[in-house]
Every structure is written in structure tokens, then in C-alpha cells.
Structure 1
Amino acid sequence: MSRAAMPPVSRDVLVHPDAGTLAHATAARLLTRLVDVQSHRSPVHLVVTGGSVGIATLEAVAQSPAHAAVDWSQVHVWWGDERFVPAGDPDRNETQAREALLDALGAALPTGNVHPVPAQDDDVTDPDVAADAYAGELAAFAAAGAEVPAFDVLLLGMGPDGHVASLFPGHEALGTVGRPTVGVEGSPKPPPRRVSLTFEAIAQAREVWVVAAGEEKAAAVARALADDPDTPAARVHGTERTLWLVDVAATGDVPTSEPDGTPEPTS
């Protein structure tokens, strides 16, 4: 993946007063970004995330009247990681995203534009099989010679340990190279079996947005922004922009691009 070898772009850190404000501001920023991209090209490829703020952001998108400004027929939805459990399980990021936003969009978002990670069933019996199938789906929508689409926005949550997607500190999945997806066994956070995009795949995104809220995330945020090599979140970058969207509780003495937390205009 040649784009992954490019030097990382600088990171912007935008601080919001609290988790609720963060979710609504991220939703507004996302809708603006989708409309802006659609004024230049289609389709748009969006990677969504789970977690409390990630799902709250999707709920805020559904609640916003501005979501009608997006041509959802030209938006493709992907996931950065998934819990390897049966379809419809409440632990699945897909299930939560459908309840928060995707079902509410109805016919505006074609079924074929939604690309969930294969769920556990009689044919897909382990995370590696699901990862291989998801890699094939990604490749089918990628440009010639690429393994994944050039995601326009890739949203990531971050855990208190600094993990992103299902790439956990010290886990062997961190070292996966030469492929866009990886099956994860023995995740330190339940459920233990998962599927994740790799760092190489994440690095193909035009914009990577890391969303984190809460005092329990503050130490990991500081480590990541200090480029701590043992913190997975420190390794994620977009090719055009890397954006950290956090609340006050998740920051310590981290320098910010916008001290008042007001979203800047999206170009």
C-alpha cells in the first residue's frame, strides 16, 4: 500500500466541553464533510465506529435536520472493526449503528451501500474467515491496484488503554502487514473474538477522526499525542488530515487547535 508509506500529516486537536457536546459537534462536522465531499466527487466512503461516543454521534446525525442535505444513495458505510458474534447480537457495532442511524435513513441509504463485517454463523466460523471475506468486499470497491477504498472519513473510538478499532496494546494483531483486515483472537476487552482493519488500511483514509471522551481516556490521549510507540492510537493518520475530537475530561495539558471547542469550517 503505497499511500501508507507517505509521511503522516499533522494532527489537529479539538476540545469540547463534554461528551454530549462532542457527539453533536462531531455529527455536525461529519454532515458538513459529507456534503462538501459530494460537491466534488461521488461516491463517498465513510467508516463508522462503535463505543458510547461513536454511537451517540450517529444518533445525533439521525436527529439533525441537516442529514437530509446528504445524498445517502452515494454514501458507502463501512466499519473499522467488529465483534465476532452472530448477526443481530447487541454487541455488534453493526447492530448498534443500525439502531442509531442506518435504519432511520430507510430507503435513502441503499442496502448495497452498507458493508457490515460478516457475522459469526455456520459458514463463517472464525474471525480469520470473516476478515478474509471483508477484505474481498473492500477490494471490490477500491480503485485499481488498491486493497481498500480511499475512505473520505474514518471514525475511530479509543479505549482507556489507547486501542483503536480492535488493535490492542501488545496484541499480535498490531504487527499485521500486507493485508487490510485481521482476525483477532484473545482480545483483552470482551468479546474476545473480533475483526479489525489493520493500520495499513486505516492509513489509506483521507481523513482519520479519533473521538474520545472521559477522564479515563486522558492518559491515553496524552500518550498518543506524544507519539508513544506502545499506544496504538499514536499510529493512526489520514493522508490529508488527522483530527482528534475530545472533551475536556479527556485532555490534560494537551495543546489544542481550537481552545473554545468551536468546530472550524470544513474545506
Structure 2
Amino acid sequence: MTDERFVVVHPDAGLLARATAARLLTRILDVQSVRSPVHVVLTGGTVGTRTLAALAQDPVAAAVDWDGVHLWWGDERFLADGDPDRNETQAREAMIDALPVPAPNVHPMAARSEGVPTPEDSATAYAAELAENAGDERAGVPAFDVLLLGMGPDAHVASLFPGHEALEAAGTTVVGVHGSPKPPPERVSLTFEAIAAAREVWVVAAGAEKADAVASALGGAPVTEAPASGARGSSRTLWLLDAAAAGGL
């Protein structure tokens, strides 16, 4: 895991989304020039979904070999399949349905159902799916080429919230979350162990309401107070911000 973090600031949220989409497409193409498959972890939230929509509309997307791209999620709201608040639902509408990604390459976290009644059941199933695709990686997950993370005003990333017990999950790659301070209360999230296995972690944040959290996380606040401070890739960590979110730096 690298300690160095790079900060890139864009004028506004719209340009941030478009620039992040272009950056992601470029990164996928760069990786595909040397190896396959490419593993990308998607994020939800307003700017995350705008980024996915911008990617689907970018002409460069046609140059990607989508047969060689696998899509994962950093966290999910534990709701029924197709619920509009699920990150998967929003990502399919914004990007996935518009691209020729083979269905087996899309790896959503299991939704609430009779067969999956708890977040822990979903977490266990996802951990197994990650392990099946991990190859020789010791972390139990693929070496994600890019792991996208949004960040909340409280500096949470994925569904790892300040002071929450899920922050301390160890020996596992996915954890069930209960009592989330942000609805819905039940969620499923990658752990910091899984996040740290990513080659590159990109934290994407927009809006003045995020400025204090950005300053806190980049200023060295402990993970218990600002979970985003612990989101780091093994080779590169990027913070992609709009000017408002960077206002406290």
C-alpha cells in the first residue's frame, strides 16, 4: 500500500464526472494493452453515477474490449433486486445497459431475498465470488485495477462509517453492515483489507458539503473519525475533486 496520495481538482461536479470517466477509460485501455482481464470496482452516489453515465456516452468507450472487463461494487444497499436505491440498479441504468459487457462479467452483490435474508449472507456470497476470481492473489480478491469510491460528508467510503464496527472487520473481504447512519440501515461493503488489494484507489468527491471531510481525511485524521483516510491503493491513490470539495485544502 502506498502512502502517497495525489489530488486532482476540477472546476465543477459536471467536469469532474466527465474527466473521471475519461480517465477510467484511458486506464482500462492502458491495462488491456498489457494484460486481461481488467477488474474495476464501481461506486454509487450522485457523482459516481454521473461518472458512469459520462463513461457510457464517451466515444472512447467503443475502443474498449468489454469482453475483457469485469465490474464489481465497493458496497451495496441491502434491498430487493431492482430497487431504484441499489447501486447496481443505478449503474445498470447509467452505464452497463448501454455497453456490451457480458452478463457473467458483471458481479453485483446479492440482493435481499428469501434465499439471502441478511447482509451477512450477501457478504459471504460476495466474498466467495471474489475469491473465485482472485487467481493467485493472496488477498482473496482480484487485484482490482481501479477501485472507485465516493465519499460522504462524514468522510465515509463504501459503507464504512466513522465509529462503526465494520471499520474493524478483519480476516474477511466483505462485511455486512447494520445500523448505518445513512439509510437504508442494512448494507454490504468491501472491507479495508479488500480495498487495500486494489492497484489503484480513486476517491471521487464533489460539493462544498464534502470540504471538511476531504480536509480531514487528507490531513491525517484517524480512520475511526475519517474512514476515507484509510482508502489507499497498493500502487496509486488518487483524490479526484471539484473545486468546492477541495475548498478546505
| TM-score of the two chains, using structure 1 as the length reference | 0.91
Retained in 2: the 8 A contact 1:228–1:234? yes
Deviations 1:134-172 (A, max 9, x none): 000000000234410000000000000000000000111
What 5-or-longer segments of structure 2 have no aligned partner?
none
- Partner residue, 1:231: 226
**Structure 1 residue 209 and structure 2 residue 202: aligned?**
yes
- Partner residue, 1:47: 41
SS in 1 for 2:204: strand
What 5-or-longer segments of structure 1 have no aligned partner?
1-5, 255-267
Retained in 1: the 8 A contact 2:151–2:203? yes
Retained in 1: the 8 A contact 2:16–2:240? yes
- Partner residue, 1:155: 148
The residue type equivalent to 2:118 in the other structure is: D
- Partner residue, 2:73: 79
Q: What is the CA distance between 1:253 and its match in structure 2?
A: 4.7
Report the count of equivalent residues. Answer: 246
Q: Work out the percentage of aligned pairs sharing the same amino acid.
A: 67
- Partner residue, 1:111: 103
- Quote the RMSD (CA, aligned, Å): 0.8
SS in 2 for 1:251: helix
The residue type equivalent to 1:161 in the other structure is: D
- Partner residue, 2:113: 121
SS in 1 for 2:61: helix
- Partner residue, 2:64: 70
Q: What is the CA distance between 1:227 and its match in structure 2?
A: 1.5
The residue type equivalent to 1:23 in the other structure is: A
Q: What is the CA distance between 1:251 and its match in structure 2?
A: 1.2
1:15-54 matches, within 5 Å, as 15-54=9-48
SS in 2 for 1:238: coil
**Structure 1 residue 175 and structure 2 residue 175: aligned?**
no
- Partner residue, 2:177: 184
SS in 1 for 2:95: helix
- Partner residue, 1:264: none
Q: What is the CA distance between 1:207 and its match in structure 2?
A: 0.3
